[in-house]
Structure 1
Amino acid sequence: MEGLRPNSRPGRHRSDGQVRIPEVDPLFGSGIRMTAGWAQHDGAGADLGFWTLLSRLPRLMRISFGLAWQAGHLLLPVAVTAKLLAGAATGAVLLATNAVLVLLLSGPPTLERLTQALPVLLGVAVAGVARSVLSSMGDAVNGKLAPRIDRAATVRLLERAVRVELVIIKNAEFRNLMSAAARGALSARMVTTYAIALVEALTGLVAAAGVLTVLHPLLMPLMVVVTVPSAWGAVRMARARFVSMKRWTELQRQLETLSELLIGSSPAEEVRAHRAGGFLLHHYQRLARLSEAEQARLAGLEARTNLMSDGVAGLARLAMYGVLGALLTSGAVPLAVAGTVIIAIRTGTGHLTALVSAVNDLYEQGLFVQDWKQACDRAEQEAIRGGTIKLDQPPDQIFARNLWFTYPNNEQPSLAGIDMTVRRGEIVALVGENGSGKTTLAKLLTGLYMPQRGAVWWDGRTTAELDRATLFDHVALVAQDFVHWPFTARVNVTIGRSTRRPDAAALRESAAFGRADEVVDRLDAGWETLLAPEFLGGTMLSGGQWQRIGLARAHYRNASVVIFDEPTAALDPRAELEVFDRVGDLAKGGRAVILVTHRLASVRRADRIYVLDRGRVIEHGTHDALMALNGRYAELYSLQAKQHQDSVPSS
């Protein structure tokens, strides 16, 4: 942060009164200071002047108001109109008050004069009630509109995000943008709420100023003189709160991280075994003291600012009373008008303070809404593109020719010049060391990624020509890091084909295929057991148990092309061999199986094995042919065989 030095001591204060927060923290280094994602605009308003903020608001409000109109149609103009009328009613109240004072102060109080004032008093009451009713109506309509804006913004973002190309959705820069957009979807309702509040504050301020101008031309400058100190105090404290909130938020993220490490289940074993609890607590207390000091500093600054602004405002009021006295003495204004002036200035000051607060809040939340709009537009641009040819039947053959692929922001290609073929009823294994391109190639073969050069052909049509939605209908995926859905065991399997009605017979068959039935039989509620330990009644599964659920899910999908990407990483050798026996059964049933693995003992029965190294196929053939070649595959296989002799089946 600006002005903070790396060697600052925790808890000390700088000469300007700000708490020194070290740039280089003993635990977090440069600290948890988000420059992108949901926190990138925290305290952004602190860097700009009030009038600069005001000038930038229309552009930010257009986005939110457009969304509010789509979400609620007439609700937005109704809410704005109600607040406009509520603000305008301030003027009516002041004029009616002035009329009452004129009647009451025009002479000695008598029953006749009071009787004459009753209709005007009734007018004051009616105007006041109308102002309250209109303001409450605006709040009520906005309360109905706000959740609709939430839903509309979030749904629009999710609709576009779910259609984004896989390679883009995994990009770090895009993930940061989506994180900020998720915050922006929530901020859209806040922008609308603040904007509606601003309408009432601005209208009320203008109404108060207009009434004073009507009463006497010199009264308007009096209001400016009296309200300027309060406005200065409000603007200064708004800036200070933004700056303090930014510092406090950074500290709070660090405190929340330490708290989670102290009470979380994942680090619990090491915290205890390594006796790290005291160390973490020490740093928690250190950071908590910094947070306390920052909050104390803000409270002190607020007290000093209020004292200064109130003092100057008091002097301004004395000057105002002097001017009013002179005007009264000269007969320029009657006593009733003087009373109205005091009420109008107090009312105007309140509206001005509300205006300053609304402008600051509007600007910061508007930046998040701008991120939301940017993310929606970017997601639309990066949506999955494909041809119009529908794939109505399983492919007999998939082949790649001169396939090249490079990830965004990378210079070196992940795949270079790949040629390969996968036929229906075959098991094709992709093997190689980590980073060799196995998983990337599998995703290109099934249309999850699109090549930059070359093409993948499904029965004479490239993946670029095919309607990729219908292409995906023929693909099932079992990945090492497949999704652990926080749903019931039944849904975790049947979500493999969520577009069809659940099939009890198919569920039993799939569970038996993956040995997931053995897992479900041990669950208290069977198929209705919630597989989410973070929720009440949820159950935790081991890695191996989840792997069986994943295998059952892929089988239930009943797709013609199945990718197994390290599917047995969490299984013991005996279970692994059984799974690969069943993988062979899938191929015999007419499916094309693409097996991605580094455990070479499991690929002996593959019809073809492709050995990848740094994005290129360096060997391919059957197990026996590759062993006879005595190249890289034979070397890796022999090394693994020595380490896992008990798991290697006999030839």
Structure 2
Amino acid sequence: MIVDAVVFASQVNSQSNGFVNIYPSLSYVGLEAIAVILLAGSQRGIIICQSLLRALMGQRVNVLILEKALTLDLRQFEDSEFYDKLTNARREASVRPLSLVNRTFGLVQNALSLFTYGILLVNFSGWAVVVLILAAMPVFISETKFAGEGFRLFSWRAAETRQQHYLENLLAREDFVTEVKLYQLGGMLLGRYRNLFDQLYGEDRDLTLRRGLWGYLLGLVSTGAFYLAYAWIVLETVLGKISLGDMTMYLTVFRQGQSTFSSALTSIGGMYEDNLYLSNLYDFLEEEVPTSWGKATIGLNPQDGIRFENVSFTYPGSSKPALTNISLHLKPREKLAIVGENGSGKTTLIKLLTRLYTPDSGRIFLDGLDLQEWDVDVLRRRIGVIFQNFVRYQFTVGENIGVGDVEHLENKTRWQTAAEKGMAQSFIDQLPQSFQTQLGRWFKGGQELSGGQWQKIALSRAFMRSQADILVLDEPTSAIDAQAEFEIFNHFRAITQNQMVLLISHRFSTVRMADKILVIENGEVIEQGTHEELLEVGGRYAKLFLLQAAGYQ
């Protein structure tokens, strides 16, 4: 309209040499300016919406993943294939959902544009619409094919990607850097990191080059179609069948129509690609959740304590049983020590008791009721536990202790009581801000503790559950010297008189304090009894005790 108005005004001016009415041309320019202002406003609005949606949707999807992770079993977290599935889900979780939403709205936008372009082009020729459609198809087919290849490459490489991230952590985390420097591992680890990158980059490069080359060659088809249409429209203008303004409009519409149709097909291909990647997220979210049918909150016989009857268990993927026909009985207020070499099954026994795993055969009873019939949350509230590989939270001292009972996480009175029971109060008082001192080096002002101090924090954590009548201590004092350990367990016997205690330790000076000692070897109970009874038998326990005692003479 602008072009035709200008041409018409020029013709009138050349013929009349008088007043020229320029208002039609300027009014069209004004209308276009208004349209451009509205367009700029809508585009800015889209950018704002996308920015806000990116944050909200990324958070929502990550929360879905974390909520799902909380429902899964320990067995799944110890499966490397499950970790690959989790890695694939998390890597694209914050990007692909938003991309799918954007492409969907983009496709609607392009469809509206194509509808109006199509109406205009049909007025010129229906064949122009056919050329427009056919010209964009080769690039669409090529992009869709390479999107599928890229996704398969992404899925296959989950293990290598995890290994690469692990090497990054080894080189950059404060809890690894000391050993990396002392053993001079930096060069070797960096070399492995580079080799992994070279391998992954080589695969990406080959795919990118093939994708780019085919995209260029097939894009020439679209370019050729445009210039064929260009020549056709110019010829029609020269022959006087359409005006100069019509020619300008049709060239613009064909070019924009071609770009819009290509963009629409790209959106469809992108949605296909996004859905491929989101299938990893769907697979993870549909991971089977272990059923916990137990609902009991009290037992049948509170005086029966803990009982294992012929319990056997084998870890997934292992052919060797971790435990075989384990039978034991721990009465209320009794203390049981479990002795055995590393890998003999001691920690596995504790994991079965705390319902982190379910026995393959046999049964475990608490208060005369099968463990599987207990409500798992009620069961775990009755247990205070410290594992040898306890977590060193980058929290304050009080929070590090408070996590032992999350319902009383901020209860300062309980912090102090638990710290006194765990014999951590003396060094906590010497810290800059006592219980409010930040621990670890990850955050500003953090204080690092010694290994023994960390273990006392973990011991205190186990005492946070003041209502717990079962205390499980798995190598709780391995970083503490023998004399301090002896004092701690003398203290423990006094403050745990009303609790059942299961203690795993390699130090026999501590073990001998227990009411009953269980000796495990290769997943089987080979001896059980009191310290004196086992020494009289002269078996495995007696041999290990005498060997250790000789070391102190």
Q: So what's the TM-score if we normalise by structure 2?
A: 0.83
**1:149-191 CA distance string (max 9 Å, x none):** 2333222332232232333333333333233333354232333
Q: Which residue of 1 aligns with 2:68?
A: 160
Aligned residues: 544
Gaps (5+ residues) in structure 2? 13-18
Relative to structure 1, is the Cα distance of residues 284 and 392 closer, same or farther in structure 2, using a 3 angstrom cutoff?
closer
Q: Which residue of 2 aligns with 1:592?
A: 500
Q: Which residue of 1 aligns with 2:85?
A: 177
Distance (Å, rounded) in 1 between the aligned partners of 2:284 and 2:157:
28
Please report how far the alpha carbon of residue 470 of structure 1 lies from its aligned counterpart in structure 2 after TM superposition.
1.0
Please report how far the alpha carbon of residue 504 of structure 1 lies from its aligned counterpart in structure 2 after TM superposition.
3.6
Q: Which residue of 1 aligns with 2:479?
A: 570
Letter in 2 for 1:627: L
2:297 corresponds to which of 390, 407, 413: 390
Q: Which moved more, 1:253-262 or 1:312-321?
A: 253-262
1:492-641 alignment runs, 5 A limit = 492-500=400-408, 502-558=410-466, 559-588=468-497, 590-641=498-549
The answer as to whether partners of 1:227 and 1:345 remain within 8 angstroms in 2 is no
Relative to structure 1, is the Cα distance of residues 423 and 272 closer, same or farther in structure 2, using a 3 angstrom cutoff?
closer
**1:547-585 CA distance string (max 9 Å, x none):** 010011111222110100111111111111122212322
Relative to structure 1, is the Cα distance of residues 226 and 338 closer, same or farther in structure 2, using a 3 angstrom cutoff?
farther
Q: So what's the TM-score if we normalise by structure 1?
A: 0.72
Distance (Å, rounded) in 2 between the aligned partners of 1:254 and 1:164:
23
Letter in 1 for 2:295: T
The answer as to whether partners of 1:400 and 1:456 remain within 8 angstroms in 2 is yes
Q: Which residue of 2 aligns with 1:212?
A: 121
The answer as to whether partners of 1:234 and 1:353 remain within 8 angstroms in 2 is no
Q: 2:395 aligned with 1:487, yes or no?
A: yes
Please report how far the alpha carbon of residue 356 of structure 1 lies from its aligned counterpart in structure 2 after TM superposition.
5.4
The answer as to whether partners of 2:299 and 2:366 remain within 8 angstroms in 1 is no
Q: Which moved more, 1:131-140 or 1:527-536?
A: 131-140
Distance (Å, rounded) in 1 between the aligned partners of 2:501 and 2:109:
66
1:162 alignment partner, SS class: helix
Relative to structure 1, is the Cα distance of residues 435 and 160 closer, same or farther in structure 2, using a 3 angstrom cutoff?
same
The answer as to whether partners of 1:403 and 1:451 remain within 8 angstroms in 2 is yes
1:454 alignment partner, SS class: strand
Distance (Å, rounded) in 2 between the aligned partners of 1:248 and 1:415:
35
Please report how far the alpha carbon of residue 392 of structure 1 lies from its aligned counterpart in structure 2 after TM superposition.
8.6
User: Percent identity over the alignment?
Assistant: 27
Letter in 2 for 1:165: D
Distance (Å, rounded) in 2 between the aligned partners of 1:465 and 1:298:
54
The answer as to whether partners of 1:391 and 1:471 remain within 8 angstroms in 2 is no
The answer as to whether partners of 1:425 and 1:591 remain within 8 angstroms in 2 is yes
2:102 alignment partner, SS class: helix
Relative to structure 1, is the Cα distance of residues 189 and 313 closer, same or farther in structure 2, using a 3 angstrom cutoff?
closer
Please report how far the alpha carbon of residue 148 of structure 1 lies from its aligned counterpart in structure 2 after TM superposition.
2.8
The answer as to whether partners of 1:261 and 1:268 remain within 8 angstroms in 2 is yes
Relative to structure 1, is the Cα distance of residues 348 and 146 closer, same or farther in structure 2, using a 3 angstrom cutoff?
same
Relative to structure 1, is the Cα distance of residues 143 and 517 closer, same or farther in structure 2, using a 3 angstrom cutoff?
same
Q: 2:370 aligned with 1:462, yes or no?
A: yes
Please report how far the alpha carbon of residue 461 of structure 1 lies from its aligned counterpart in structure 2 after TM superposition.
1.6
Distance (Å, rounded) in 2 between the aligned partners of 1:376 and 1:243:
20
The answer as to whether partners of 1:399 and 1:419 remain within 8 angstroms in 2 is yes
The answer as to whether partners of 1:248 and 1:294 remain within 8 angstroms in 2 is no
Q: Which moved more, 1:482-491 or 1:278-287?
A: 278-287
Q: Which moved more, 1:323-332 or 1:470-479?
A: 323-332
Relative to structure 1, is the Cα distance of residues 140 and 575 closer, same or farther in structure 2, using a 3 angstrom cutoff?
same
Q: 2:295 aligned with 1:374, yes or no?
A: no
Relative to structure 1, is the Cα distance of residues 585 and 167 closer, same or farther in structure 2, using a 3 angstrom cutoff?
farther
The answer as to whether partners of 1:232 and 1:309 remain within 8 angstroms in 2 is no
Please report how far the alpha carbon of residue 267 of structure 1 lies from its aligned counterpart in structure 2 after TM superposition.
5.8
Please report how far the alpha carbon of residue 591 of structure 1 lies from its aligned counterpart in structure 2 after TM superposition.
0.4
Distance (Å, rounded) in 2 between the aligned partners of 1:247 and 1:556:
45
1:401 alignment partner, SS class: strand
Q: Which residue of 2 aligns with 1:60?
A: none
Q: Which moved more, 1:488-497 or 1:323-332?
A: 323-332
Please report how far the alpha carbon of residue 429 of structure 1 lies from its aligned counterpart in structure 2 after TM superposition.
1.3
Q: Which residue of 1 aligns with 2:260?
A: 351
The answer as to whether partners of 1:489 and 1:531 remain within 8 angstroms in 2 is yes
2:126 alignment partner, SS class: coil
Q: Which moved more, 1:513-522 or 1:264-273?
A: 264-273
Please report how far the alpha carbon of residue 606 of structure 1 lies from its aligned counterpart in structure 2 after TM superposition.
1.0
Q: Which residue of 2 aligns with 1:150?
A: 58
The answer as to whether partners of 2:421 and 2:495 remain within 8 angstroms in 1 is no
The answer as to whether partners of 1:479 and 1:567 remain within 8 angstroms in 2 is yes
Q: Which residue of 2 aligns with 1:436?
A: 344
